[in-house]
Amino acid sequence: MTKIRVRKIETECFSCNCKQGIYRPISDFGYEKSLYQCSKCSKLILRDLEKEDYKKIDFAKVVSEKKCPECESPLNSFLIEYPRNFVCDKCKAIEHFDVDKNNLSTDSVESIIEVYDLYAEKTKDGSDK
């Protein structure tokens, strides 16, 4: 698991009308980090573009080989681009969030969350490095 700084804004699920928190990573210097979500269990997964570039990692190949760390579902079948698409915590519907229309710099709260790093290497004891 990796901790990242994010901004959170409240939106509404159009299927069940509940309030839903949406997170966007706060960029440091360099490459922007992006989030994806397992559409089966809602686990947030970090895609680090800087690691991809410097280590010459093929995102599509990694996704085709990995499973969700939470529910073990194949990521190539259940990975969705977040927050453009998100799974409602309450009704589990896949909803759409207009990132361009909803500016997260206003009415947003900064916080730190834990996400699964798609490119984390496993240590001998099985934990992420």
- pLDDT tens profile 28-48: 776 778 999 999 999 999 998
C-beta separation of 107 from 59 below 8 A: no
Q: How far apart are the C-alpha atoms of 63 and 79, rounded to whole Å?
A: 8
Residue type, 123: T
pTM of this structure: 0.85
79-129 pLDDT, tens digit each: 999 999 999 999 999 999 887 766 555 667 888 999 999 988 764 555 555
DSSP 38-98: ETTT--EEEEEHHHHHHHT--HHHHHHH-B-TTT--BHHHHEEEETTEEE-TTT--EEE--
Report the candidate in 95, 104, 81 with the shortest Cα–Cα distance to residue 9: 104
